[in-house]
Amino acid sequence: MENIIRTLRAEHGWSQAALAEKLDVSRQSVNAIETGKYDPSLPLAFAIARLFGKTIEEVFFDGVGNQKAAE
């Protein structure tokens, strides 16, 4: 699963450590999610989307077809 977390995080001026603290996860978890090495649990995906004021579909996508958030 692909995502735009790195872009959203940069727009807010947050480091991976700052985002991790807001989500109560490790910085390594944020890095793994951003790079697609780890898919977050559904509750964590909702928390990430909510933190950025987006829907899950705007943050996470399967990489096939169009991505709404990129439009």
Residue 67's pLDDT band (cuts 50, 70, 90): low
Q: Three-state DSSP class for 64?
A: coil
Q: Which tens digits make up the pLDDT trace of 7-21?
A: 999 999 999 999 999
Name the 3-class secondary structure at 3. Answer: strand
Label the pairing between strands 60-61 and 2-3: antiparallel
Interatomic CA distance for residues 18 and 63, integer angstroms: 27
Which of 25, 70, 26, 27 shows the shortest CA–CA distance to 43?
25
Q: Where are the domains of the chain?
A: 2-59
Check residue 70 and give its pLDDT: 45
Is the pLDDT score of 71 beyond 60?
A: no
Tokens of 5: 């977390």
Query: Domain 2-59 in CATH: superfamily?
Result: lambda repressor-like DNA-binding domains (1.10.260.40)
Using one digit for the tens of pLDDT, what is the confidence trace for 17-48? 999 999 999 999 999 999 999 999 999 999 99
**Which run of H or E residues covers position 57?**
helix 56-59
What is the reported pLDDT for 65? 58
pTM: 0.86
